[in-house]
């Protein structure tokens, strides 16, 4: 198939080029829709010809299997950190350092490059013969986590380097970060969902890269900038400036702002220039990095035990402002959690006017002794939501009483006047009224948000109005809404009415209509089942094809049972310290009981492993019972409990009445086998091998004729021969036909 293969490589090159233009040059040459069309063409060609799939295909970016943990990688060249210079120590600290390097390289002209210090996560990308092979975190500098699959989802990381002169080995280093806009969106969604948002973009990026499921990573708009080298098989360019140019020519993204300087004064000016404009970058920076430009001079300047002598990080001061705390309001979240918010006299902080800041919870307020009327210091250090860091005690009004949460609220929920309680194990106060309109509004927003049922147009104000008018008492009431009820909704006040209007109402109704067809994963997410977040929802949907199947799940029951057996076995363990005084007879009995419990736990573990619902545990002496689950015991127990509860039963009954039956797995045309390679061997009884291959491809999987280390799974029917032996030799999962059918149906 030479023409198809040529067409594919051409399409792949085009897509990579469009990625580069989009992310690197911010100058897309085609529309998103055109990009999607090219992408779909590649997908279609690859589905028809799985043998033509290459590791650098853009379709390999998403998908991949969630793993139980990361492998570690030893860095060929250690990844060091930088020593800091602090803005508060002034230009003298900078001059002193530069003078110290001049002393190491006496009489030589020195050049310095100033770059932004990107507030992200340091990573190493390894390219072999131009192909992206491994990506790892810095870790302890010597070894890091292998997060290749997660990094593959980042579209500004080319999977193949450009140009004719690609070295055999090239390791590049840089920073993965979450752009401010992407972070804002995530925070808004979390707030709308009544969740405690991530503190800053860096934590969000870090948390994302540590995700074991690349599909989740793919949903976060991470980006990368590269500024350094690890192992390289050829002599690299002689300076940082030339090196950045070379990396850019290979298709890698490098810092846009750089200033080449000859003196300490020029370096200081560049640092100040950067500080003045860094807010416009669209990503967080927490400083500047100053590096000796010449790589050869760097070598001679050398390293201390932990950091190079030839580079420093200049840390800008965290931005603070002083203002007055006018009031403390309390927000009610989706689950009834009451969050205190500081209402501030508006003040300018790093270019934006701040009038609200989070106070986190009662303990936080008490610890900082924050009182209404206080003059407070607010800080924004990478955080989108500023926080109150301290109180200026000298400016406290003499009459300001200590803040008491319960008294402040008069013992009632500020939204519904219902009872509130504080769980002693939990920092937050909670409104106990399940019909609290504020909670209902949050639940409604959660139900409709992106990633859940995506009902466009149903934001906070519409949710508020629907709840207030009594049109919606439960998210499922949305499915009974009529245009005549929605269109005249007043989103304003009585004095200043603002009608929702027919056009907007139709948009929401269309969204509700589409929600009917949304797959099981989104429904499981939208229903806000305790402990079942977006990831778990997606995982559960891969293994179950309906809500009823989750309710009756043998897999979830096995997870709970396994956990119980584990605890019981631990309790019975005759070797446990607390049993040291047992009689021999008792010891004997306990030993038998312990062995039986362990055997039962192992059997449950094995069932889960066979179903692919667990990954084998790693480490010495691990047994099947130590398997790592797709959904762990906490989530499994909570999910089963919810389905058995009055709420869960009412929801299922209502969905039934509404004629709604969200479908998961194959029924939803899911891609749960994306990126997995199957080998079929022997005779299948319920279908031909061709049909089996079709089904695998329909779920995004690949079918290969031969077994290799890259094979994920071998399906073996009667008469299977050498391929089965090879699979065993490689330790590859082998499924029999009923297990395979179950996997397809899951
Ligand atoms: S150069 C030998 N350049 O800051 C280490 N680092 O505080 C060379 N960082 O670990 C690092 N932007 O994660 C360098 N333009 C930049 C950077 C940068 C951010 C990070 C990097 C490093 C940390 C040191």
Report the alpha-carbon distance of residue 152 to residue 218 in Å, rounded: 9
Q: What is the pLDDT of residues 372-383, one digit of tens each?
A: 999 999 987 555
Taken in order of first residue, the domains within the chain and their CATH numbers are: 2-61 (1.10.287.610), 84-315 (3.30.470.30), 320-431 (2.40.50.140), 437-517 (1.10.150.20), 534-658 (no CATH), 669-745 (3.40.50.10190)
Task: Report which ligand 1 atom has the smallest distance to the Cα of 255.
Answer: 15
Q: What is the pLDDT of residues 429-471, one digit of tens each?
A: 999 998 899 999 999 999 998 779 989 899 888 999 999 999 9
Q: What is the pLDDT of residues 243-297, one digit of tens each?
A: 999 999 999 999 999 999 999 999 999 999 999 888 888 898 989 999 999 999 9
Percentage of the chain lying above the pLDDT 70 cut? 92
Which own/partner contact pairs does 645-653 have at CB distance under 8 Å and 24+ positions apart?
Answer: 648/529, 648/551, 651/476, 651/527, 652/547, 652/548, 652/551
Sort strands 387-391 and 375-380 into parallel, antiparallel or unpaired: antiparallel
Give the H or E element holding residue 264: helix 264-277
Report the alpha-carbon distance of residue 609 to residue 601 in Å, rounded: 12
**Residue 67 pLDDT:** 57
Higher pLDDT, 459 or 27: 459
For residues 378-395, give the mean pLDDT. Answer: 81
**Residue 668 pLDDT:** 44
Secondary structure of residue 73 in the 3-state scheme = strand
Sort strands 112-118 and 319-332 into parallel, antiparallel or unpaired: unpaired
Best residue among 86, 313, 315 to mutate for probing ligand 1, ranked by most atoms within 8 Å of CB: 313
**Residue 666 pLDDT:** 41
Best residue among 78, 118, 258, 288 to mutate for probing ligand 1, ranked by most atoms within 8 Å of CB: 118
Q: What is the pLDDT of residues 575-620, one digit of tens each?
A: 776 777 778 888 888 888 888 988 888 888 888 888 888 877 655 5
**Residue 667 pLDDT:** 41
Ligand 1 contacts (CB < 6 A) are 80-82, 115, 117-118, 122, 175, 227-228, 255, 289, 308, 311, 313
For residues 149-162, give the mean pLDDT. Answer: 93
Cα 315 → chain centroid: 27
Cα 676 → chain centroid: 22
Report the alpha-carbon distance of residue 462 to residue 481 in Å, rounded: 13
Task: Report which ligand 1 atom has the smallest distance to the Cα of 313.
Answer: 7
Å from CA of 422 to ligand 1 middle? 44
Please tell me the pTM assigned to this model.
0.55
Q: Is the pLDDT of residue 130 over 50?
A: yes
Q: What is the pLDDT of residues 475-496, one digit of tens each?
A: 999 999 999 999 999 998 888 8
DSSP state of 197: -
Q: Is the pLDDT of residue 79 over 90?
A: yes
List the residue whose alpha carbon is closest to atom 7 of ligand 1.
82
pLDDT grade, residue 179 (50/70/90)?
very high
Higher pLDDT, 331 or 573: 331
**Residue 200 pLDDT:** 76
**Residue 63 pLDDT:** 45
Å from CA of 210 to ligand 1 middle? 20
Residues in the chain: 746
Helix axes 2-23, 32-48, angle to 10 degrees: 150
Helix axes 460-468, 437-448, angle to 10 degrees: 130
Cα 253 → chain centroid: 22
Q: What is the pLDDT of residues 608-666, one digit of tens each?
A: 888 888 877 655 566 665 666 778 888 899 999 999 999 999 999 999 999 999 987 54
Q: What is the pLDDT of residues 675-731, one digit of tens each?
A: 678 888 888 888 888 778 777 766 767 778 888 777 888 898 888 777 888 787 777
Å from CA of 380 to ligand 1 middle? 22
Q: Is the pLDDT of residue 65 over 60?
A: no
Å from CA of 82 to ligand 1 middle? 7
**Residue 479 pLDDT:** 97
Q: What angle do CA 219, 224, 226 make, to 5 degrees?
A: 165
Higher pLDDT, 244 or 71: 244
117 counts as catalytic = yes
């Amino acid at each position: 198939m030479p023409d198809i293969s040529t067409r594919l490589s051409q399409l792949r090159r085009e897509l990579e080029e469009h990625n580069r233009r989009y992310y690197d040059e911010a100058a897309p040459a085609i529309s998103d829709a055109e990009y999607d069309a090219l992408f779909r063409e590649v997908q279609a060609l690859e589905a028809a010809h799985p043998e033509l799939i290459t590791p650098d295909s853009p379709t390999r970016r998403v998908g991949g299997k969630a793993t139980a943990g990361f492998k570690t990688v030893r860095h060929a060249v250690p990844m060091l950190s930088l020593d800091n210079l602090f803005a508060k120590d002034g230009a003298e600290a900078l001059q002193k350092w530069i003078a110290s390097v001049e002393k190491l390289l006496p009489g030589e002209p020195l050049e310095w490059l100033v770059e932004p210090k990107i507030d992200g996560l340091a990573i190493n990308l390894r390219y072999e013969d131009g192909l992206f092979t491994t990506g790892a975190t810095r870790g302890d500098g010597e070894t890091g986590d292998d997060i290749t699959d997660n990094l593959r989802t980042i579209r500004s990381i080319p999977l193949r380097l450009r140009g004719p002169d690609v070295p055999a080995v090239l390791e590049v280093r840089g920073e993965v970060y979450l752009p401010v806009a992407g972070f804002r969106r995530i925070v808004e969604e979390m707030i709308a969902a009544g969740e405690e948002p991530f503190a800053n973009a860096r934590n969000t990026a870090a948390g994302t890269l540590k995700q074991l499921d690349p599909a989740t990573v793919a949903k976060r708009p991470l980006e990368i900038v590269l500024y350094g080298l690890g192992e390289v098989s050829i002599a690299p360019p002689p300076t940082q400036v030339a090196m950045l140019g070379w990396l850019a020519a290979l298709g890698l993204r490098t810092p846009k702002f750089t200033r080449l300087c000859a003196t300490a004064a020029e370096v200081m000016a560049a640092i100040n220039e950067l500080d003045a404009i860094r807010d416009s970058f669209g990503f967080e920076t927490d400083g500047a990095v100053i590096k000796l430009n010449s790589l050869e001079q760097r070598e001679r300047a050398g390293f201390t035990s932990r950091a190079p002598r030839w580079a420093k990080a200049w840390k800008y001061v965290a931005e603070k402002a002083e203002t007055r705390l006018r009031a403390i309001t309390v927000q009610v979240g989706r689950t009834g959690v009451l969050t205190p918010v500081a209402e501030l006299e508006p003040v300018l902080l790093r270019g934006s006017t701040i009038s609200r800041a989070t106070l986190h919870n009662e303990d936080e307020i008490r610890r900082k002794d924050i009182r209404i009327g206080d003059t407070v210091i607010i800080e924004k250090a990478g955080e989108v939501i500023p926080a109150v860091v301290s109180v200026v005690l000298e400016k406290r009004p003499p009459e300001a009483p200590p803040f008491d949460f319960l008294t402040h609220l008069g013992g009632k929920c500020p939204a519904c006047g219902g009872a509130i309680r504080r769980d002693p194990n939990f920092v937050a106060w909670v409104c106990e009224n399940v019909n609290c309109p504020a909670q209902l509004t949050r639940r409604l927003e959660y139900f409709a948000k992106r990633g859940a049922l995506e009902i466009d147009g149903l934001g906070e104000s519409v949710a508020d109005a629907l709840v207030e008018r009594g049109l919606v008492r439960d998210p499922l009431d949305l499915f009974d809404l009529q245009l005549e009820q929605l269109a005249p909704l007043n989103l304003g006040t009585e004095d200043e009415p603002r009608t929702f209007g027919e056009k907007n109402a139709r948009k929401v109704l269309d969204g509700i209509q589409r929600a009917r067809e949304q797959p099981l994963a989104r429904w499981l997410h939208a229903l806000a089942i305790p402990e079942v977040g977006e990831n778990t929802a997606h995982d559960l949907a891969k293994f179950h094809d309906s809500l009823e199947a989750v309710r009756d799940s043998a897999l979830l029951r096995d997870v709970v049972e396994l956990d119980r057996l584990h605890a019981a076995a631990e309790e019975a363990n005759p070797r446990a310290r607390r049993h040291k005084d047992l009689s021999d007879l008792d010891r004997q009995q306990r030993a038998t009981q312990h062995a039986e419990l362990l055997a039962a736990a192992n059997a449950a573990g094995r069932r889960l492993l066979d179903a692919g619902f667990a990954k084998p545990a790693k480490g010495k002496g691990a047994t099947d019972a130590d398997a790592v689950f797709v959904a762990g015991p906490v989530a499994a127990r909570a999910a089963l409990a919810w389905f058995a509860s009055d709420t869960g039963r009412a929801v299922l009954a209502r969905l039934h009445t509404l004629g709604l039956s969200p479908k998961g797995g194959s029924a939803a045309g899911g891609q749960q086998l994306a990126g997995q390679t199957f080998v079929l061997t022997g005779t299948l009884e319920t279908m031909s091998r061709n049909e089996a291959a079709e089904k695998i491809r329909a779920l995004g999987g690949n079918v290969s004729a031969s077994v290799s280390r890259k094979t994920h799974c071998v399906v073996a029917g009667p008469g299977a021969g050498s391929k089965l032996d090879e699979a065993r030799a490689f330790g590859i999962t082998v499924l029999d036909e009923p297990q395979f059918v179950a996997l397809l149906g899951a």
